[in-house]
Amino acid sequence: MSTPPGGACPPGTYDQGFAMDLDFQPLLESWRFLAGGLGITLLLSGVTALASLVLGTALGLARVYGPGWLRIPIVFYIDTQRAIPVLVVLVWFYFALPILTGLSFDPFWAALVALTLHISAYVAEIVRAGIESVRPGQWRAGLALGMSAAQIVRRVVLPQAMVRMLPAFGSVLTLTIKDTAIATVIAVPELMKRAETIAGQTYHPIEVFSVVMVIYFLILFPGSRLIDALYQRIAHLGRS
């Protein structure tokens, strides 16, 4: 890549010898700004994961144990969300829904609701699969002991199913944290959005996005390993 006429290469670009001049000083000067974006990413992903867990578990239980008429709209909702990319859901919720309803949403709350509605569908399927993986004999044994249906679900089925669902829940948490980066398209000031701002102002995209990549890795990789290690320790509790 040749030097632009009339001057040197912009900072962070290649010179005529293709030597890369890395400079992390502008990034160090903006670390507070970037750290603020990381805080928003963790807040958004944490609240989204918690809300998705609650809503998805309710949907999964309703699909398995609810009345037949309720299962039809739940299945339609789950299949619809799984068939539509999360980016489309996010953009539609932020730009199209206000036009239809006249209600405007703050970017953070729009991202929170859209991501929750989307990820809850996957949580519901995890819950359904976990419950159905418990042998029917467990249910019959509970009835033979005089337990009610609610007691069987709470004391027999769910404790085993939750252990079996743990690896999948870990994957959902990882997916949730990564999906928050998509919120940059509606100007949520999370980690990726602030990284784009710093890269555009300093002309150091390689340094900025390399650091962001490392940050995501340092968050997600240890978490995934921790969940796997936890599952290995308690896996026997889910065997029946």
What integer pLDDT is reported at residue 37 of this predicted model? 93
Rounded CA separation 123/183 (Å):
20
What integer pLDDT is reported at residue 23 of this predicted model? 79
Residue segments in the chain with a per-residue pLDDT below the cut of 50: 1-8, 12, 14, 16-19
Domains and CATH numbers, the chain: 33-238 (1.10.3720.10)
The DSSP bridge partners found for residue 14 are 20
Q: What's the predicted TM-score (pTM) here?
A: 0.84
What integer pLDDT is reported at residue 60 of this predicted model? 95
Tokens representing residue 217 in the block: 């890795």
Listed in sequence order, the residues at least 6 apart from 163 whose beta carbon sits closer than 8 Å to its beta carbon are 231, 234, 235, 237, 238
Rounded CA separation 20/14 (Å):
5
